[in-house]
Amino acid sequence: MWQGIWRKYKDEISIWRVGALPGFIVIAVIIIARLTGSLQFLEWITLDTFLRFRPSETIDKRIVIVGINEADIQSVGKYPIPDREIAALIKKLQKYKPRAIGLDLVRYIPVEPGHNELGEVFKESKNIYGIEKILLPNLFYPPPELPHKQISFSDVIPDKDGKYRRMILGIPTDEEYKHSFCLRLAEAFLSHEGITLENGIRDTAAMRFGSTELPRFLPNTGGYVGTDAGGVQILLNFRSGAERFRTLSLNDIKTGNFNPQWIGDRIVMIGMTTSSTPDFIDTSATVPGLIHDGQVYGVEFNAHGVSQIISAVLDGRSLINTWPHNWEYLWIFCWGFFGISLGRFTQSAWKNFVAVGVASVCLIAIGYYVLLLWGLWIPVAPILLILAINGVGLSAFAFYQYDQGLKSQIVVRQRAMEMAFTEIHNGPLQTLATLLRGVQNQELSNDELHLRLQTLNVEIREIGEFLTQITLKKEEVLRLGSGLKIDLNHPIHQLLYEVYSSTTERKIPYFQTLKVKVRSFEPIEEQNLSFEEKRELCQFLEEALCNVGKHAKGVTRLYATGTKKDGWYTLRIKDNGPGICSSYENKGTKQSKDLAQQLGGFFKRETLSSQGTLCELTWPMFQKKSLLRKIKHRLKNFFQKK
Tell me the C-alpha distance between 133 and 141, whole Å: 7
Tell me the C-alpha distance between 255 and 618, whole Å: 99
How would DSSP label each residue in 370-394? HHHHH-EE---HHHHHHIIIIIIIH
- Say how many C-beta atoms besides its own lie within 10 A of residue 375's C-beta: 17
Query: For residue range 193-215, what is the model confidence (pLDDT) as tens digits?
Result: 999 999 999 999 999 999 999 99
Average per-residue pLDDT in the chain?
Answer: 84
pLDDT recorded at residue 459 = 67
Query: For residue range 118-159, what is the model confidence (pLDDT) as tens digits?
Result: 999 999 999 999 999 999 888 899 999 999 999 999 999 999
> Residues near 456 by Cβ (< 8 Å), separated by ≥ 6?
428, 431, 432, 435
**Which CATH fold topology does 474-641 show?**
Heat Shock Protein 90 (3.30.565)
**298 phi and psi angles, rounded to 5 deg:** -55, -40
Nearest to 271 by CA among 303, 308, 243, 242: 303
Tell me the C-alpha distance between 14 and 179, whole Å: 61
Report which of residues 130 and 526 the model is more confident about: 130
Query: For residue range 416-461, what is the model confidence (pLDDT) as tens digits?
Result: 566 666 666 666 766 676 667 667 776 667 777 777 677 766 667 6
Tell me the C-alpha distance between 182 and 161, whole Å: 24
pLDDT tier at 93, thresholds 50, 70, 90 = very high
Tell me the C-alpha distance between 220 and 135, whole Å: 22
Return the H-helix or E-strand segment holding 406. Answer: helix 394-426
* For the chain, domain boundaries: 2-36+324-397, 49-322, 474-641
Tell me the C-alpha distance between 11 and 24, whole Å: 19
